[in-house]
């Protein structure tokens, strides 16, 4: 039996948000209002607590997690101060 929250359908054409690291935390920025939310790597979907993704009818947005996440985390982990552990990808386009 599969556990967890059911994944609501995301409408086609919805732009995903890119995960980035800010002060040692994976976060993503809302493309509609600029708010940021923590990202759960195990559940890479995004719901803004400010605008509730109203621009796309309240649907979840997918979150892009970089394929080389482990390498990024390892590289940043070598930095002694968590506030210096920051990373972001260039904007990507969802096909």
Chain positions contacting Zn ion, by CB under 5 A? 30, 32-33, 35, 48, 50-51
Q: Which helix (H) or strand (E) holds 74?
A: helix 69-77
CB of 83 to Zn ion, least distance (A): 25
CB of 7 to Zn ion, least distance (A): 20
Rounded-to-integer distance, Cα 37 and Cα 26, Å: 9
Q: Which is nearer to Zn ion, 15 or 69 (CB)?
A: 15
Rounded-to-integer distance, Cα 75 and Cα 68, Å: 11
Q: Which is nearer to Zn ion, 32 or 73 (CB)?
A: 32
């Amino acid at each position: 039996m599969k556990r967890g929250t059911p994944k609501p359908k995301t409408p086609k054409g919805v732009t995903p948000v890119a995960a980035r690291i800010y002060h040692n935390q994976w976060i993503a920025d809302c493309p509609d209002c600029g708010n940021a939310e923590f990202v759960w790597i195990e559940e890479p979907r995004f719901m803004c607590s400010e605008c509730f993704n109203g621009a796309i009818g309240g649907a979840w947005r997918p979150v892009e997690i970089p394929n080389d996440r482990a390498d990024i985390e390892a590289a940043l982990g070598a930095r002694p101060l968590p506030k210096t552990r920051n990373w972001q990808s260039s904007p990507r386009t969802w096909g």
